């Protein structure tokens, strides 16, 4: 599948009202809409809480806004989770409406609208970022508990599969992005986990997504080990092209092979920050064109470049007016570049 600069979003939006958020998505992303995460609506829609149901030993205090895993209490339920996993019981791993009002509003509004689209996009928090953000009862990141990390990877994989089924009821062409902002820490002095554990977890969730007939993507909004991701068989690599194009393009040989195998680059070219205040669609479009030229200058065939346009990161923490402008500019830049 070759994309011609279709526009989509990352996931989170700053709105509390799901109908408002979904309407903005539908207005701006007619070819590839995405369901909105609404972290300001509820703590349950924070990117780690949102996918935490079904995890054994979970202690979640919605009012106190705390979340951790009690590994001792988790033990009795781990066997049950594995059995549900082996039974492919997707309903057990569903995302409930309280945790994703944007998803349910999106699906309901879409079904009533009769819209025609090319793809529908969903997202799941990646296992590495999830397990680095959630701690055990001793405030140690759960990623260092190998058994629990494996359980979390399986739970997230099943939630991705469940989500694909829900989105396929709207359109058969589904994309699921694995959101992995904390991949920037892998290999640094701050995180000491075996590289093979990272690879295994990413491969497992990628395989789960593809097993349901969806395209897989991965989003990392910082600089990371790009060759590791480019070689994982993931269909779409989404990076912060506004800040890190030159760093990403250092790996032009790996990018060339990735594109040759049918991969797509999702250019996060629209800044998801106050930097948007000083930008115009023309300036951002030029920045993207300059990045494309750098790729071509490094020996990559222009016709082999499959591209999507996105904001550089999620918009859940910025103000509503900026978010609206970022969505509008993302759509506008996609039109400019694809013309």
Q: What is the pLDDT of residues 239-280, one digit of tens each?
A: 999 999 999 999 999 999 999 999 999 999 999 999 999 999
User: pTM of the full predicted structure?
Assistant: 0.95
Q: Is the pLDDT of residue 187 over 70?
A: no
Q: Residue 181's pLDDT is what?
A: 92
Percent of the chain with pLDDT over 90: 88
Q: Is the pLDDT of residue 115 over 90?
A: no
In the predicted model, what is the mean pLDDT of residues 77-103?
Answer: 97
Q: Residue 189's pLDDT is what?
A: 63
Q: Is the pLDDT of residue 191 over 80?
A: no
Chain mean pLDDT for the chain: 94
Instruction: Give Cα 190 distance to the centre of its chain.
Output: 23
104 Cβ partners below 8 Å, 6+ apart?
Answer: 18, 97
Q: Residue 11's pLDDT is what?
A: 93
Q: Residue 222's pLDDT is what?
A: 86
Q: Is the pLDDT of residue 4 over 80?
A: yes
Domains and CATH numbers, the chain: 4-338 (3.20.20.210)
Q: Residue 143's pLDDT is what?
A: 95
The pLDDT tens digits for 272-303 are 999 999 999 999 999 999 999 999 999 999 88
Three-state secondary structure call for residue 80? helix
Q: Residue 28's pLDDT is what?
A: 96
Q: Residue 133's pLDDT is what?
A: 93
| Cα–Cα distance for residue pair 251/235, rounded to 1 Å | 17
Three-state secondary structure call for residue 301? coil
Q: Residue 279's pLDDT is what?
A: 94
Cβ atoms within 10 Å of 146's Cβ, excluding its own: 11
Percent of the chain with pLDDT over 70: 99
């Amino acid at each position: 599948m070759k994309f011609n600069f279709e526009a989509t979003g990352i996931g989170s939006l700053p709105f509390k009202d799901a109908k408002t958020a979904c309407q903005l998505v539908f207005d701006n992303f007619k070819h590839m809409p995405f369901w909105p995460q609404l972290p300001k609506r509820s703590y349950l829609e924070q990117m780690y809480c949102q996918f935490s149901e079904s995890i054994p030993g979970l202690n979640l205090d919605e009012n106190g806004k705390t979340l951790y895993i009690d590994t001792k209490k988790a033990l009795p339920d781990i066997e049950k989770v594995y059995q549900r996993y082996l039974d492919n019981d997707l309903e057990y791993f569903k995302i409930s409406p309280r945790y994703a009002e944007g998803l349910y509003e999106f699906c309901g509004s879409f079904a009533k609208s009769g819209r025609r689209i090319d793809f529908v996009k969903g997202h799941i928090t990646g296992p590495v970022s999830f397990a680095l953000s959630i701690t055990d009862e001793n405030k140690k990141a759960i990623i260092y508990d190998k058994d629990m990390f494996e359980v979390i990877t399986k739970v997230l994989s099943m939630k991705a599969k469940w989500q694909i089924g829900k989105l396929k009821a709207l359109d058969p062409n589904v994309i699921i992005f694995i959101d992995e902002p904390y991949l920037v820490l892998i290999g640094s002095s701050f995180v000491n986990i075996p590289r093979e554990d990272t690879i295994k977890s990413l491969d497992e969730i990628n395989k789960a997504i593809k097993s349901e007939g969806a395209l897989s993507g991965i989003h990392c909004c910082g600089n990371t080990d790009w060759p590791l991701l480019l070689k994982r068989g993931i269909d779409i690599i989404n990076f912060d092209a506004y800040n890190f194009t030159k760093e990403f393009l250092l790996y032009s040989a790996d990018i060339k092979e990735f594109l040759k195998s049918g991969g797509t680059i999702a250019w996060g070219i629209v800044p998801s920050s106050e930097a948007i205040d000083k930008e115009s669609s023309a300036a951002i479009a030029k920045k993207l064109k300059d990045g494309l030229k750098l790729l071509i200058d490094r020996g990559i065939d222009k016709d082999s470049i499959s591209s999507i346009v996105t904001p550089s990161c999620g918009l859940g923490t910025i103000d509503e007016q900026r978010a609206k402008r970022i969505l509008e500019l993302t759509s506008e830049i996609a039109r400019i570049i694809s013309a």
